[in-house]
Structure 1
Amino acid sequence: MDWDKLRIFHAVADAGSLTHAGDTLHLSQSAVSRQIRALEESLNTTLFHRHARGLILTEQGELLFDATSSMNKRIDAATARIRDSEEEVFGELRVTTTFGFGALWLAPRLAKLYEQYPELNIDLMLEERVLDLPMREADVAIRMKEPSQADLVRKKLMSIKMRLYATPQYLAEHGEPQDLHALANHRLICQNPRSAQVSAGLNLVQELLTYDIEATLTVNNYYGVLQAVLSNLGIGVLPDYIIEDFPSVVPVLPDVGSVEVPVFLAYPEELRQSKRIAAFRDFVQDEIISHRRSLRAMGAT
């Protein structure tokens, strides 16, 4: 089968338009249309339903689009491996992690990585959904649980816990609770129990809500929870990694916390030799070591 025709078909299916695909491929609309007709004739099938608003894939077109999507991802992986055979670390690295960890811990530290590798371009994708690494939805992931897929290289970075935090100003104005029952006199700030989050955090929130807490503020991510805590709105449930970078919040009821949540770094086996992956992995590991040292120093003072 003619790969050039498949390439054009994929662009049309992805764009849903001959004109838009032509713009992407730097071809005229008529040239794109001829290639699609030739492909349909060679397969003896119709790949698109044509109407005034654009093109919609037929069932046979969907099958072919799944195949070309898989081929494109494999080509991307091969291209990445070829580029990574060079000595220098450069190009795009797609990193996925949760919104909280990415916004509160990882992103503030990336300046150090860029100083070391100025030609590296990070595409940081923050979402709770677990992206499919073998299918190249991302190159590397930092996840709050051990990845289950067998074809991934994974390394445990650290363990975290969800704990209670507030500002000294809030505690001075409203008093510091001495036990869980006293939380009923405070506003609890936490992730909405219906929002995507690690089960340890959800279990802690559900336990706290059994103590007749009437005033709550729920947010769908930890960044929002932290901003509300910093604004002196109440006592927040937050991951303990925030304590190093946000000294304006202090622990509340320090013996209360979730079970430990493991943090793993993972990437596809086929990228094991990637210099971009290695650079990012070593950077994160060094920052974790520095993070632990800072926490120990804070605990000693």
Structure 2
Amino acid sequence: MDKARVISLFIGVVRAGSFSQAAVAEGLSAQSVSKAIRQLEEHLGLRLFHRTTRSLSLTDEGQRLYELAHPGLRLLDEALEQVRGSRDEVEGLIRVAAPTSLGIHLLAPILRGFQERYPGAHFDLVLADQFTDLVAARIDVGFRAGNPPERNLVARKLADIVLKICAAPDYLERHGAPRDADELLRHRCTGYRQANTGRLMPWELKGDGGTVYLDVPCVASFNTTESEVAAVRNGLGIGQLAHYMVDEDLAAGRLVHLLPRLDTRNAAIYMYYAQRTRIASRVRLFIDYAFEAARRQLGGA
């Protein structure tokens, strides 16, 4: 027996004053409502109604049950209405997952802009270079650099990632600049070790017949892109770095773009979220806002 459902029907009968009118209100047959009340009476071991062919009234026990149960059902109705209404409110927590590099370079201004528009929204930002399982981590929206996430997720492409070969002016003063891919092999280079696999990633260079993968001589490898960018910025070596992480440094002269004809675009930045038809309004608004803001911020990529 569904106790909550039966109690709700009992209160409905009391309010309506008859089984038939309560049944109409609930979209049920009078027989179904009568059977549910009989089950409740059998469960309690007492009668709740005095029934005649012309009238229906509560027993003393029925009156007591109504007085005790009615406030509780009203509180339950209010709770359901509040939760239902929260879908239309731009208030509450939004949990977002992203790699550290995207959290710093892309999401920080997006979160600020969204909160300026909707001050009632709050964020829990989880930064990890490994792919984040939305369901297991209770994440509303994820961001990812690389290939689109698999599984049953909605993935929206924000921009291509342009890999640029960069070096600090200090490094170029000491070692000179490579003139082609072959000369890169004689330079001090940095590498990125993939967080999920620990594998050192080869450089991806644009060639005449497509992408060429080059194992460069790494003087240092890093398991976070942020640390690799910092090392290149400080003159440790030449690095192949994502455009969204170095464009400001290039514009300010802290880094120099080398061999631009070798730039590649074999990966992208994605926003992803679970396939749900009922998404809280604050999350849906953030998804739409972040998509447009990120595309503007990464424009031209």
TM range (shorter): 0.5 to 0.7
Mark the CA change 1:208 to 1:277 in structure 2 (over 3 Å): closer, same or farther.
Answer: same
- What are the within-5 Å matches in structure 2 for residues 164-179 of structure 1? 164-179=165-180
Q: Following TM superposition, by how much is the alpha carbon of 1:271 offset from its aligned partner in structure 2, in angstroms?
A: 6.1
Match of 2:150 among 137, 145, 148: 148
Give the % identical residues. Answer: 27
Match of 1:278 among 284, 287, 297: 284
Partner residue of 1:208?
A: 214
Q: Residue type of the partner of 2:214?
A: L
Mark the CA change 1:134 to 1:91 in structure 2 (over 3 Å): closer, same or farther.
Answer: same
- C-alpha contact 1:91 1:119 (8 A) present in aligned 2: yes
Mark the CA change 1:222 to 1:197 in structure 2 (over 3 Å): closer, same or farther.
Answer: farther
Deviations 1:32-88 (A, max 9, x none): xxxxxxxxxxxxxxxxxxxxxxxxxxxxxxxxxxxxxxxxxxxxxx9997464233x
Structure 1: any 5+ residue segments left out of the alignment? 1-77, 297-301
Mark the CA change 1:136 to 1:95 in structure 2 (over 3 Å): closer, same or farther.
Answer: same
Secondary structure of residue in 2 paired with 1:92: strand
- What are the within-5 Å matches in structure 2 for residues 100-139 of structure 1? 100-135=101-136, 137-139=138-140
Q: Residue type of the partner of 2:88?
A: E
Secondary structure of residue in 2 paired with 1:102: helix
Q: Following TM superposition, by how much is the alpha carbon of 1:140 offset from its aligned partner in structure 2, in angstroms?
A: 0.9
Q: Following TM superposition, by how much is the alpha carbon of 1:155 offset from its aligned partner in structure 2, in angstroms?
A: 1.6
Partner residue of 1:31?
A: none
Partner residue of 1:230?
A: 233
Mark the CA change 1:264 to 1:223 in structure 2 (over 3 Å): closer, same or farther.
Answer: same
Partner residue of 2:162?
A: 161
Mark the CA change 1:173 to 1:108 in structure 2 (over 3 Å): closer, same or farther.
Answer: farther
Q: Residue type of the partner of 1:187?
A: R
Instruction: Find the aligned partners of 1:80 and 1:281 in 2 and give their Cα distance.
Output: 23
- C-alpha contact 1:165 1:251 (8 A) present in aligned 2: yes
Mark the CA change 1:79 to 1:264 in structure 2 (over 3 Å): closer, same or farther.
Answer: farther
Q: Residue type of the partner of 2:275?
A: E
TM-score (norm: length of structure 2): 0.60
- C-alpha contact 1:160 1:239 (8 A) present in aligned 2: yes
- C-alpha contact 1:84 1:273 (8 A) present in aligned 2: no
Instruction: Find the aligned partners of 1:292 and 1:157 in 2 and give their Cα distance.
Output: 8
Instruction: Find the aligned partners of 1:160 and 1:198 in 2 and give their Cα distance.
Output: 21
- C-alpha contact 1:165 1:237 (8 A) present in aligned 2: yes
Secondary structure of residue in 1 paired with 2:119: coil
Q: Residue type of the partner of 1:174?
A: H
Mark the CA change 1:232 to 1:96 in structure 2 (over 3 Å): closer, same or farther.
Answer: same
Partner residue of 1:17?
A: none
2:259 pairs with 1:253: yes
TM-score (norm: length of structure 1): 0.60
Q: Following TM superposition, by how much is the alpha carbon of 1:224 offset from its aligned partner in structure 2, in angstroms?
A: 0.4
Larger radius of gyration: 2
Once superposed, what is the RMSD of the aligned Cα atoms? 3.2
Q: Residue type of the partner of 2:173?
A: A
Structure 2: any 5+ residue segments left out of the alignment? 1-79, 205-211
Partner residue of 1:264?
A: 270
Q: Residue type of the partner of 1:146?
A: P
2:194 pairs with 1:188: no
Secondary structure of residue in 1 paired with 2:292: helix
